[in-house]
Amino acid sequence: MTHPTYPHLLEPLTLGAGPDALTLRNRVVMGSMHTGLEDHPWDIDKLSEFFAERARGGVGLIITGGYAPTKRGWLKPFASEMTNRLHAMRHQRVTGAVHEAGGAIALQVLHAGRYGYHPLSQSASDKKSPITPFKPHAMSSKEVDHTATAFAKSVSLARKAGYDAVEIMGSEGYLINQFLAARTNDRDDQWGGSAARRMHFPVEVVRRSRELVGDDFPIVYRISLLDLVEGGQTWEETAELALHLEAAGVTVFNTGIGWHEARVPTIITQVPRGAWRSYTARLKQVVEVPVCASNRINTPELAEDIIASGDADLVSMARPLLADPAFVAKAMDERADEINTCIACNQACLDHVFSNERASCLVNPRACHETELVLTPTMRKQTVAVVGAGPAGLAAATSAAERGFAVTLFEASPELGGQFRLAMAVPGKEDFADTLRYFTRRLEVLGVDVRLSTRATPDDLAVFDQVVVATGVEPRMPEIPGIDHPSVASYADVLSGRVVPGKRVAVIGAGGIGVDVSVFLTHEPEDLDDWMAHWGVGDPALHEGGLTEAKPRTPAREVTLIQRKTTPIGIGLGKTSGWAHRAVLKQSKVTMVSGATYDRIDDQGVHVIVDGTPRVVACDTVVVCAGQDSVRGLYDVLDHRSAHLIGGADVAAELDAKRAIKQGTEVVAGL
């Protein structure tokens, strides 16, 4: 029966034909994402449960993280590979778990090429990538030939392991891209020398794979639609490649945007939702087989619209399925307002992976920890009071209610959200509003007694069996002479709109919030075309790799961002998003002052000493972003045997929503 709200997204689709044909129950693909669980054989059951939970949640097709076809193709030393029968046998646990849960799963075969973080890395040439320290070995013609065969062998092993399909990773700048682009391929043998010969390697990979697995086994190829690097492919080359690959046996095209070394953000929050759909639509005009859209798609409404408008046949979402394993089931049951939406922050997923930690999710700390962080139904129906409705308190209250406790949530202000509400005001962080929508709805569905504008007293709390104190933080006001000058405001005053800063602003403190406030102060509203222009994204039919000269921004204010440290400003920001935030500051002409000692604040502005020289940062407004102090007066007077302190009230330093939500969930799991 056709679904009334998502008729296109939830419609089945058959890939391939014959006995190996795969009928997907809907068009939602969980895109490939490395979690770190792939790299250790002893984690195979955790990986199986991670996927099985998503299969139970209704997703059409799951694609695993990348598995190398050879050791030299590893992402890092001893990383995941699919190179022998033992691997295939072990993976039967994964495929079995997914099939038992009613799902379908494809293995991704990925050769890291020069992105391999190890000394054995190899590539089309010996050109080192700007994001890895290892210079790759330039492959001989024979090595290229062997590697194409190794890809095919991995594909065939995947089939033996019970996978329903494979995905060949041909985007994001990995080995296949390194062969396709003149940027990295300066060979003069049969694998390079002209655009046509640079295509030879991926076409051989697909041709040999098809030969080994027969006509019907679905082969997904992830094609790079836009390289976003100098010396990347042109649209003409991409279209020609797609046709060759289709002829060689590709069943479906998945799509990718930007190499990892590209300096244009492609998936973080500040990228407009659905920004890249027009490129998928363009590929759909070229090929006959189905095409899958990806990158910055995180709601069923947008996914439905992309398919309904004919821009794609399927939609891939990786991080949104980390955030909510039941994404599809909720859409199907008309409960989209209960979806825990991915806010594209990268803080617990990609930032973890790039720091060699297991991935998880800021808004769902159970992600990749399904067998370890379990909210079991309680045997003793106790009463639980949660004080404070910031991220920590919201996570604690909803987790406790989920376990079956009778929960009352006290919040002194008239609204839920705490500091998280402030983050929503930052341009490019609008998606954070979805987390508050999720928690608000979840509290409603779980029947939590929410008492807003209510400051809980020890007497109020005395009647509860358990008390969770999540009273949060307050902005720190440093002891600088003149800090009480009328021009001084806290970041909370500014982001909440209580204070409207003047044209020239000095920002004290360049942590995550100082950077966010600087973006808030300088940002002019922009539509998708402006956004593309500011990042220098051009038409790949006219510009190699889709890169052109960036259009300068006109900042709304003149901002100076000051810190005492001498390290570069913003160096402590997220691994996979910090560079983009720093680039926006540069585009917005924010002046950075490091190594400052604060002398005083007066009518002239902020007086600082830098390298022994006094100077004045002239301004109309000073915004203080100097961290936070814990608010724990209530906790100090409670009976600590039944009180649990969490979030910023526990430790204010380096507080972020990731730690707050995780701690709120863990404390309740242990009650």
Task: Give me the residues that bind ligand SF4 (CB under 6 A), please.
Answer: 319, 322-323, 342-349, 361-363
Paired with 615 in beta bridges are: 608
State the minimum distance, in angstroms, from the CB of residue 364 to ligand SF4. Answer: 6
Distance separating alpha carbons of residues 388 and 418, to the nearest angstrom: 8
Binding partner of residue 461 among ligand NAP, ligand SF4, none, CB cut-off 5 to 8 Å per kind:
none
Distance separating alpha carbons of residues 557 and 519, to the nearest angstrom: 10
221 as an active site residue: the answer is no
State the minimum distance, in angstroms, from the CB of residue 166 to ligand SF4. Answer: 24
CB of 557 closer than 8 Å to CB of 504: yes
CB of 189 closer than 8 Å to CB of 232: no
**Closest to ligand NAP by CB, 292 or 344:** 344
**Closest to ligand NAP by CB, 326 or 608:** 608
State the minimum distance, in angstroms, from the CB of residue 349 to ligand SF4. Answer: 3
State the minimum distance, in angstroms, from the CB of residue 513 to ligand NAP. Answer: 3
Binding partner of residue 344 among ligand SF4, ligand NAP, none, CB cut-off 5 to 8 Å per kind:
ligand SF4
Binding partner of residue 456 among ligand SF4, ligand NAP, none, CB cut-off 5 to 8 Å per kind:
none
List % helix, strand, coil for the chain (3-state, nearest 5): 35, 20, 50
Binding partner of residue 625 among ligand NAP, ligand SF4, none, CB cut-off 5 to 8 Å per kind:
ligand NAP
Work out the number of other CB atoms within 10 angstroms of the CB of residue 636: 10
3-state secondary structure of 252: strand
**Closest to ligand SF4 by CB, 233 or 266:** 266
* Active-site pick, 6, 174, 491, 635: 174
**Closest to ligand NAP by CB, 222 or 581:** 581
State the minimum distance, in angstroms, from the CB of residue 347 to ligand SF4. Answer: 5
Written in H, E and C, the secondary structure of 437-495 is HHHHHHHHHHCCEEECCCCCCHHHHCCCCEEEECCCEEECCCCCCCCCCCCEEEHHHHH
CB of 58 closer than 8 Å to CB of 329: yes
Pull the structure tokens for residue 584: 């926006």
Q: Which DSSP string do the residues of 407-439 spell out, in sequence order?
A: EEEE-SSSSS-THHHHHTTSTT-TTHHHHHHHH
**Closest to ligand NAP by CB, 314 or 590:** 590
Binding partner of residue 342 among ligand SF4, ligand NAP, none, CB cut-off 5 to 8 Å per kind:
ligand SF4
State the minimum distance, in angstroms, from the CB of residue 658 to ligand NAP. Answer: 9
CA dihedral 503, 508, 509, 514 (to 10 degrees): -20
**Closest to ligand SF4 by CB, 134 or 354:** 354
**Closest to ligand SF4 by CB, 353 or 396:** 353
Q: Kindly report the CA angle at 123 between 346 and 116, in degrees rounded to 5?
A: 35
Which phi and psi angles does 63 have, rounded to 5°? -115, 130
Sign of CA dihedral 60, 65, 67, 68: positive
Binding partner of residue 626 among ligand SF4, ligand NAP, none, CB cut-off 5 to 8 Å per kind:
ligand NAP
State the minimum distance, in angstroms, from the CB of residue 363 to ligand SF4. Answer: 5
Binding partner of residue 381 among ligand SF4, ligand NAP, none, CB cut-off 5 to 8 Å per kind:
none
Query: Of 54, 47, 60, nearest to 8 (Cα)?
Result: 60
**Closest to ligand NAP by CB, 84 or 567:** 567
Helices and strands (H and E) in the chain: how many: 22, 27
Binding residues vs ligand NAP (CB under 6 A): 478, 508-509, 511-514, 516, 563-565, 573-574, 581, 625-628, 654-656
Binding partner of residue 348 among ligand SF4, ligand NAP, none, CB cut-off 5 to 8 Å per kind:
ligand SF4
Distance separating alpha carbons of residues 110 and 99, to the nearest angstrom: 23
State the minimum distance, in angstroms, from the CB of residue 298 to ligand SF4. Answer: 8
CA dihedral 620, 626, 631, 633 (to 10 degrees): -90
Catalytic positions, written as ranges: 174
